[in-house]
Structure 1
């Protein structure tokens, strides 16, 4: 009888980064990968691709750019929330303001990051979420 050699190994924590700017997306993936090498990082270059990925496999956490050319981060959040109700969803933008944070919550996001402060805010949030998942 054959056995699956990966059967007893848990699926790694999965993070999906959706941003239409490849340089930012790749840099963010490298940075997070260096901070948290135990997680699997997926990338989507637009909102529709992010939704397609989630239709195949619900990830643990998503970082979604607010402004993308096909559909915006609020719309992606609403659609992913329907498909993957347990996915932690955080919107990110260069634009700051309470109105965007409120709109993110109304769309179903768990939080909102300013790209201007992600270097301090994001690692703390990721560490908390990953520790809770383990």
Structure 2
């Protein structure tokens, strides 16, 4: 049923045009929904949400510039009335945990059935938490480990940022990190800037101290 004050408004965030077009067509086929904006990365997503103040954001995780986890964190802080539903191919535990820690209310894998997406959108707008098949049990396990002190360190970091921080903690310089991870030195520098912000440190030395205190950097540089 369409709410009396209008349709449920949605912003779509995905760096693939075909995916966004498919999602728009699907969501607008549901009764009581209207897509009011689109974004191709997390930075644009924050702007679109601040502009349109939608009821819900459908958020990808792996995107250029600002990823979906950081975008979720910024959106939840800036627009707490907007729910975030992650729809991603990423299903490893750290990504799921990071997204939920950032404030996402739901997590579905791409390929979810139409009925699942419809139900999930309505659920997160109503303030519920919802997870796709196979995700719910793992999320409960992740939070249980967190309660017993065994959650992975720095859940706010993306898996790639954690890889970079691990190598920084080992004492490697940017060029060596870039070679080890198969990325450009500029990309490493961008990841480091994001890591400094998330860990609330001002320089590389402070990041190394925090990382080593949390058990990172124990491996030997190769």
TM above 0.5: yes
Once residues 29 and 115 of structure 2 are traced to their aligned partners in structure 1, the CA distance between those partners, rounded to angstroms, is: 15
Aligned Cα root-mean-square deviation (Å): 2.1
Give the match for residue 11 of structure 2. 16
- Structure 2 residue 75 is the aligned partner of structure 1 residue 84: no
CA shift, 1:84, in A, is 0.6
Note if contact 1:19-1:68 (Cα within 8 Å) is conserved in structure 2: yes
> Moved runs in structure 1, 4+ residues, more than 4 A?
none
Check if 1:73 corresponds to 2:85.
no
Partner of 1:40: 34
Indicate the structure (1 or 2) with the bigger Cα radius of gyration: 2
- 2:101 is aligned, of 106, 114, 129, to 106
Q: Which runs of 5+ in 1 are unaligned?
A: 1-8
Judge which range, 22-31 or 50-59, deviates more: 50-59
Cα deviation for residue 82 of structure 1 reads 1.1
Relative contact order higher in (CA < 8 Å, ≥ 6 apart): 1
Partners of 2:11 and 2:49 within 8 A in 1: no
Shift in Å, 1:128: 3.8
The question of whether the paired residues in 2 share the 8 Å contact of 1:101 and 1:111 is answered with no
Q: Please list every run of 5 or more consecutive structure 2 residues that lacks an aligned counterpart in the other structure.
A: 128-222
Count of residue pairs brought into register by the alignment: 123
SS of the residue 1:16 aligns to: strand
State the partner residue of 1:3: none
Asked if the contact 2:27–2:34 (Cα under 8 Å) also holds between the matched residues in 1, the reply is no
Alpha-carbon distance in structure 1 between the residues aligned to 2:83 and 2:113: 17
Question: What's the offset of the Cα at 1:106?
Answer: 0.6
